[in-house]
Structure 1
């Protein structure tokens, strides 16, 4: 998500606290928030899928390969 969209989310938030939003602005705020949350989840999943741990026996387990492709996460 680009900085302009994040700035718009913040702008709509501050306007909602100060004077309220029009129905069109409420819809825009909901869409932008959903897009932000989806982007956050994708980035977090990408980071989690790149975690590897070193086992006691010296082998390395890639947790993304082991758990990352399961449904329902």
Structure 2
């Protein structure tokens, strides 16, 4: 999980970039923070997929095969 300070810094840089030009150092910092944020979001999403099951209104498991294969691959790890 990204720290509260890093999230605040991402937002601070985004606000600043709307009103003025960021320095090269700030642009690089913003890029690294965004990459860390996206890595965290992707990881969180994959963890949610590992436990997801899709059930239709009749109570049948209709989880897509692609998701089932993903879940099986990740159980081994």
Scaled by the length of structure 1, what TM-score is found?
0.74
Matched pairs, number: 68
In the other structure, the counterpart of 1:27 is: 28
Higher strand fraction (1 or 2): 1
Runs of 4+ in 1 over 2 A off after TM superposition: 52-56, 63-66
Counterpart CA distance in 2 for 1:43 and 1:5 is 17
In the other structure, the counterpart of 2:46 is: 45
